[in-house]
Amino acid sequence: MGKKILVIEDDPIALRLIEYTLHKEGYQVLRAKNGLEGISKAQDEEPDLIILDIMLPGMDGYEVCHRLRAKSQTAQLPIIMLSGKAQEIDKAIGMKVGADDYITKPASSREVVNRVEALLTRKIAARSKIIAFLGTKGGVGTTTMVVNIAVTLLQKGKQVIVADLCLNNGNITEYLGLKPEPNITELLVKPINTIDRRDLEAALVVHHTGVRVLAIPQLCDEHKELSPSDVNLLLERLREVTDYLLVDLSSPLSDLGKATLTKCNLIIIVTDSKAGALLDLKSTSALLHKLGVTQERLGAVVIDRQATFPEAALSNMKPIIELNTKVSLLGVIPYEIKASLEFVPGSTPVILSNPNCPMAWSIREVARHIIS
């Protein structure tokens, strides 16, 4: 189901027209015929955006907007005011009480859709995060962490896209048992700066959990080689249509991977518990510092694939690892034979197959750190 749009409008003809227009674009439409009903539905239904008429029976749109902004639950909701009042003073009042945009009636269907899409894009981009995952070396379980974190974030009600930048190893679509959509190969036919939301959504492969994947290496193989600036622009486009963009980086770090670092809110270094793992973590951190990544944007996850540490000792690892590497430890993932992070193409992520095991709980704790 698409994003929910609450339309607060007492004119049945105008309401039907807006509803028809938005349904065609894949949005779910909620109705309210007056201000009080609109406020109630905004709180109960948690829409993604509100279209609000000014001339309503009883409480007018200005007062509705003011009350919505005064409540913490609805204070950040995008609001578009729709009115026959075309004077600048009317628009100024609407913006002053908290509207994000103002459309004058009569408005074309295309204008309504464009304004809705633009506002949703701005709001999502403003709060969305890009999280990169980089292994200290190949085979430590980076891609598996990306997949399980993506599913966990989805379970928490977040929209998630995974961008696969592993040029030489790993393929998230294969791991998830997915076949790329035919139109994924058409994404780069046009210049990157002209790619819009519909192009992106058509190119994404969707797992049954709701995780959406863009396999960038495959695009590089079948079309032109992407430049670092192309990748940065593509990531920005992806960021506009999701809450979290998780980027799976190849190890060693490629030129394309290096180009993404300035865009990332957080880079998570993934390592294992083998001898020398702390040195690997320390050297990877030093490399990222040289590339301009500040310590505040770094975190680490240790996957205890060798069952080196008993579960009771895991909590004691945090100060030791942080003291030796100067990197904040987000989690130590315990090994469990029945829920190993090793998985074959098409298998079920552990967060779904064994959600109550210690491994799954540790993955959820890492996701909690990401959200906070």
Residue at 4: amino acid letter: K
Could you tell me the strand order of the sheet in which 160-165 lies? 205-206, 212-215, 160-165, 244-249, 129-135, 266-272, 298-303, 328-333
**4-124 shares its CATH topology with 128-371:** yes
* Mean local confidence (pLDDT), 266-284: 91
User: Residue 152's closest CA among 358, 352, 369, 359?
Assistant: 352
Question: How far is the C-alpha of 121 from the C-alpha of 114, rounded, in Å?
Answer: 10
Q: CB–CB of 334/362 below 8 Å?
A: yes
What's the pLDDT at 286?
Answer: 94
Question: How far is the C-alpha of 18 from the C-alpha of 145, rounded, in Å?
Answer: 42
Running DSSP on this structure, what letter comes out for residue 58? Answer: S
Q: Which span out of 81-85, 201-205, 291-295 was modeled with the highest average pLDDT? A: 291-295
Question: How far is the C-alpha of 218 from the C-alpha of 171, rounded, in Å?
Answer: 9
* Mean local confidence (pLDDT), 77-96: 84
Taking only the tens place, the pLDDT of each residue in 56-66 is 998 999 999 99
User: Residue 5's closest CA among 39, 36, 47?
Assistant: 47
Q: At what angle do helices 142-155 and 358-371 cross, to 10 degrees?
A: 70
What's the pLDDT at 341?
Answer: 45
More confident residue, 185 or 336: 336
Taking only the tens place, the pLDDT of each residue in 225-250 is 667 777 777 887 788 778 899 999 98
Assign domain 4-124 to its CATH superfamily: Response regulator (3.40.50.2300)
Taking only the tens place, the pLDDT of each residue in 347-363 is 788 898 889 988 899 99
Q: CB–CB of 170/143 below 8 Å?
A: yes
Q: What angle do CA 107, 113, 116 make, to 5 degrees?
A: 105
How many Cβ atoms are within 10 Å of 44's Cβ, its own excluded? 10
Mean pLDDT of the chain: 83
Give the model's confidence band at 169: pLDDT under 50 very low, under 70 low, under 90 confident, else very high. low
What are the residue boundaries of the structural domains of the chain, listed by start?
Answer: 4-124, 128-371
Domain at 128-371: CATH code: 3.40.50.300
